[in-house]
Chains A and B, each alone.
Chain A
Amino acid sequence: MSKEDKDRIADAKLYDIADKWYQQMQNAAIPYISLPTRTKHNIEYDEGTEVWKYGDKETTRIANSSKSALHLLKMAYVVGFLKQQLRENRSSTLREMYYISESWKKAKFSAQDESNHLVEDLEIITELSRESFHLRPEDDGATVYGPLKIREKTRRGDREMHCQQDVGEGGYPIPNNVDNLEFVEHDAKFVIAMETGGMYARLMENGFDEEYDAILVHLKGQPARSTRRVLRRLNQELNLPVVVFTDGDPWSYRIFASVAYGSIKAAHMSETLATPGAQFIGVQPSDISNYDLPSDKLTEGDIAALKSELSDPRFDTDYWKTQINLQLKLGLKSEQQAFAARGLDFVTKEYLPARLSEMGII
């Protein structure tokens, strides 16, 4: 499909949203919009795609409260703005749109989270991605390092790079639009995605990628869509197993869940973003006791988050139930880098090889 066709479809879908409201108001009905409920109570496992998607529960936002009316007003402004952007063939980042809303008076966003969330709503309603509206996220700085050669279509022509030989210690930065990326060749046996920069650098320094033919991916906390998309493509296209290495706390398990099962916030994109085969390597609560890792006490927030995960359908497996209950019993959490207590080589020489062979990857 040509770019013009794509733009026309996007424009028509945006028009439909406004037109529905127009009809509603013409018929003396208070304008409303229905959306799938975007909470953990409304995500379902889809057997076909092996990812978690939104279920049938719908939330209707009707403009009969000032909060909902304001929400609809903001949505109307965003629709208007995106239509204009399509018409003028411009593009902007999510952050830019947030700043543009400064001049929208009542419809001004109070935080970028709010505008991001609203754009996600529009993706769900239109069944299009934000890129279709010429909206893109900011670079998020996630990187790749390992025996992988890629080709990237840049605005200034194609660039080919080897992610060990052609990049510095920072690795290859994942671009916004992963669809401009092509995997040329590789020597890898698996992909290891890490939550923290510290661990990423440790594996690089210890030569883990070379020793085990591993592609290292730095998630930078909760991974951006582009990072998750890269992981999915490495898994699907190159048939590489993906393992996720995070801190041993409830927030980090959610990082794994969003990689493997899809995030609750963007469950409408799970099909293109989730890597159903991804496995969790650690830090497992059982590691804390088995390796006697330095640890912190769980805070009240941690405990609440763990309990909430017990009712999260994505964590409804024997493995996670055992691990989460164990952690609640221990009352402790440990960071990835806590392995350093056993020496800087421990994680690459002992822990990871042991876990990887246990998981049948090496």
Chain B
Amino acid sequence: MDLAEELATKQRSISVAEFFEKNKHLLGFDSPTRGIITTIKEAVDNSLDACEEAEVLPDIYVGIKRTDKDVYRITVEDNGPGIVPKQVPFVFGKLLYGSRFHQIKQSRGQQGIGISAAVLYAQLTTGIPTTVISRTGHTSKANRFLLMIKTEENEPQILKQEEIDWDRMHGTRVEIEFKSSLAAKKRLLDYLRYTAVVNPHARIRADIDGEQYNFERASEETIFAPKAIAPHPHGIEFGTLKRMAEASPLKLKEFLIEGFSRVGDKNADEILGISGLKPDRKAAGLSSEDMKKLLDAMQTVPVPPPPSSQCLSPITEEKIIKGIDKEFELDFVRSRTRKSQVFSGHPFIVEAAIGYGGKLETEGSAQILRFANRVPLLYQQGACLITNAVSSVNWKAYNLSQQGIPIGPVLILVHVASTNVPFTSESKDAIAAIPEIEKEIVLVLQELGRELKNYLSRRDKNKQQEERARAVCSILPDIAAKVGEIVGKPAPDTTPLEAQIMRKVVVKKRVLNGKVEISVNNYTRNPATLTIYNMSEDPAADAKPKPDFVDKIGDEYNKLWKVEIDPESFWKTEYSGSSHGSISVRGVDEKFLVVVDLF
């Protein structure tokens, strides 16, 4: 037998499923540890996307339960719109099946490979079929499936399907059981936490082998679901163009206008003019050569950038801050959403935030939170465009030390939203080096860096002032003691002086010559609202201003004044009387309050 013939007997097509079986690392299943994160990530991403499309506030449950020595059952349940029963087997049991792959809009999952890869992974490591429950609304019952994938054909295998009662009105639940370990628990929690940061409208509850974690909702607004747009003529690939043309019944000119973003009558004529193709030719059936001419012409004609307001859904500055505030307690947070830009015909938006202080580690490098289409990127930080952009900023100019990335209690969040996020690989861990995106990230970080610098120098100034004030306060008692010694009297009380220097609110009561005087000095830089309670035998009938409330308790009158006082100003009341009584004040933080009772 010829060698070629011999080889031919061995040559056959490989199904995607088989391919995956051999190349698990490409999809993020390279290790059992990693598999758990990838699975949850894919399932949660799908849930969030589905909720967004249905405009419901996501309520997501994530469960991880150890069922055997190294076997874990992963459960992800959402309150999304559910999946119609006939689609369920394909969504979970067929690789590369999805609704979003052909659409040009920002979405979390894209290839439709993720969750079915987990089903396959389960099947490979434990042989246990995946359970899916889905319900599309209160009028229909829930459907429960036991699924596997026929690897050779890449088709779903339904082991069991039944209608069941489910307490959720709508939503989807998936249970996948595979060999894994919880070694990467910290990273898993990071993923959930970071997801919570950029999805402040979502509530995520997690039960990780008995430990409960809650990521509460911080915003009651559902987020705007991006709408798909037609592709842009710039940056379209040959294959895509060819597929679109083959499927189109239109003539070339209409095909261009209908099929692409921002192509109008004039642009279409121009493109066709350059390509030398007749406008009334059918789009379908172009030769490869003509197709190439058309493609080239499409790249040369200037076309406005694609509309981004519909197909992109930035988190927005306010919600980023809400998200960070709820998951990290920081002293300073600022965020910025840039205007949309374009690379190779794909619109994108860069958003970023910088946080400082609070409970962040003071030692070591800044914490960088990378996001692509609201999905946290957990692996390959070093290979990511975001990390490079962070390193290329001169942070020293913003009063931070730096070793590549800045050092200190700093949190940097960068979100890249695009209809097509350019990842370095299919496992979607790192964004590829696209100069247009890098430039935007650098610009936004510089903008935020300036704000951080302002904050830091203001904070340093305040700190300095406080230190100076402290220094004065350590000397005043010495002056008082010495002066007292010279005049032969007890040293005067320096507390009110210190309060003045330390910028506090000083409330003073003194009884002098048959008058009781209560005064308030607000030495702080903020207005203060306080309630003064003065209990004594005097009724204070002639008080000016009058008490807001007087209550007689036995022989004593409890008098109450409500005082609103501007920064650095003075208030007082005075009434006839001679009893000392007592004074207490509420409404001002004790740290900023000094009450002096002088006889």
Contacts and interface: CB of A to CB of B under 8 A. Distances in A.
B137 interface: no
B483 A25 contact: yes
Interface in A70-109: 70, 72-73, 76-77, 79-80, 83, 106-107
Nearest to A29: B497
Nearest to A84: B486
B497 A28 contact: yes
B180 interface: no
Nearest to B495: A28
Interface stretch (A61-69, A271-279, A308-316): A61-69
- The listed residue with most B CB atoms (<10 A of its CB), out of A26, A29, A69, A83, is A69
B472 A66 contact: yes
A242 B533 CA distance: 75
Interface in A285-305: none
B497 A25 contact: yes
Contact of B476 (A15, A18, A69, A79): A69
A69 B492 contact: no
Given A80-B486, A107-B478, A65 B497 contact: no
B486 A64 contact: no
Contact of B475 (A18, A22, A25, A66): A66
B491 to A, nearest CB: 9
B487 A22 contact: yes
Contact of B471 (A19, A29, A66): A66
A41 to B, nearest CB: 27
B494 interface: yes
A69 B501 CA distance: 12
A204 B484 CA distance: 57
B256 to A, nearest CB: 75
A35 interface: no
Interface in B469-512: 471-472, 475-476, 478-480, 482-487, 489, 492-494, 496-497, 500-501, 506, 508
Contacts of A251: none
A30 B485 CA distance: 18
B485 A22 contact: no
Contacts, number: 74
B468 interface: yes
Contact of B501 (A14, A30, A80): A30
B501 A76 contact: no
Contact of A25 (B468, B480, B485, B596): B480
B479 A15 contact: no
Contact of A106 (B475, B493, B506): B475
Interface residues of B, number: 25
Contact of B472 (A25, A69, A76, A77): A69
A interface: dominant SS: helix
A84 B508 CA distance: 36
B508 A18 contact: no
A18 B487 contact: yes
Contacts of A83: 486
A146 interface: no
A28 B496 contact: yes
Nearest to A72: B479
A116 B29 CA distance: 82
A77 B508 CA distance: 30
Nearest to B596: A28
B489 to A, nearest CB: 7
A293 to B, nearest CB: 52
B482 A73 contact: yes
Given A22-B487, A30-B500, A65 B492 contact: no
A73 B479 CA distance: 5
A26 B500 CA distance: 14
Contacts of A21: 479, 483
Contacts of A147: none
Interface string B385-424: 0000000000000000000000000000000000000000
Interface in B543-599: 596
Contacts of B506: 28
Interface in B202-260: none
A69 B476 CA distance: 7
B489 A25 contact: no
Interface in A6-56: 14-15, 18-19, 21-22, 25-26, 28-31
A73 B483 CA distance: 9
B188 to A, nearest CB: 53
A18 B472 contact: no
A25 B485 CA distance: 14
B57 to A, nearest CB: 54
- The listed residue with most A CB atoms (<10 A of its CB), out of B479, B486, B508, is B479
Given A63-B476, A66-B468, A73-B479, A79 B486 contact: yes
A22 B506 CA distance: 20
Given A15-B487, A25-B492, A25-B497, A63 B472 contact: yes
Contacts of A19: 487
Contacts of B472: 63-66, 69
Contact of B483 (A18, A30, A66, A106): A18
Contact of B479 (A14, A26, A69): A69
Given A30-B497, A69-B475, A69-B479, A22 B596 contact: no
A73 B486 contact: no
A80 B468 contact: no
Contacts of A14: 486
Nearest to A18: B486
B412 to A, nearest CB: 38
A26 B485 contact: no
Contacts of A18: 483, 486-487
B459 to A, nearest CB: 21
Contacts of A80: 482, 485-486
A73 B485 contact: no
B508 A63 contact: no
A271 B485 CA distance: 35
A72 B493 CA distance: 17
Contacts of B500: 28, 30, 64
Contacts of B497: 25, 28-31
A64 B501 contact: yes
A45 to B, nearest CB: 37
A117 B375 CA distance: 70
Interface string B366-395: 000000000000000000000000000000
Nearest to A105: B478
Given A66-B471, A70-B475, A28 B508 contact: yes
Contacts of B487: 15, 18-19, 22
Contacts of B494: 25
Nearest to B481: A76
Contacts of A25: 479-480, 483, 492-494, 497
Given A18-B483, A69-B472, A106 B501 contact: no
A15 B488 CA distance: 10
Contacts of A64: 472, 500-501
Contact of B482 (A65, A66, A77): A77
A65 B468 contact: yes
Interface of B: 468, 471-472, 475-476, 478-480, 482-487, 489, 492-494, 496-497, 500-501, 506, 508, 596
8 contacts: A18-B486, A22-B484, A28-B596, A29-B497, A63-B475, A72-B479, A79-B486, A80-B486
Given A63-B479, A69-B471, A76-B486, 18 more contacts: A15-B486, A15-B487, A18-B486, A21-B483, A22-B483, A25-B483, A28-B508, A30-B497, A63-B476, A64-B500, A69-B476, A69-B479, A72-B479, A73-B482, A76-B479, A80-B485, A106-B478, A107-B478
Name the 8 nearest CB pairs between A and B, nearest first. Answer: A66-B471, A28-B496, A18-B486, A25-B492, A69-B475, A76-B482, A21-B483, A69-B472
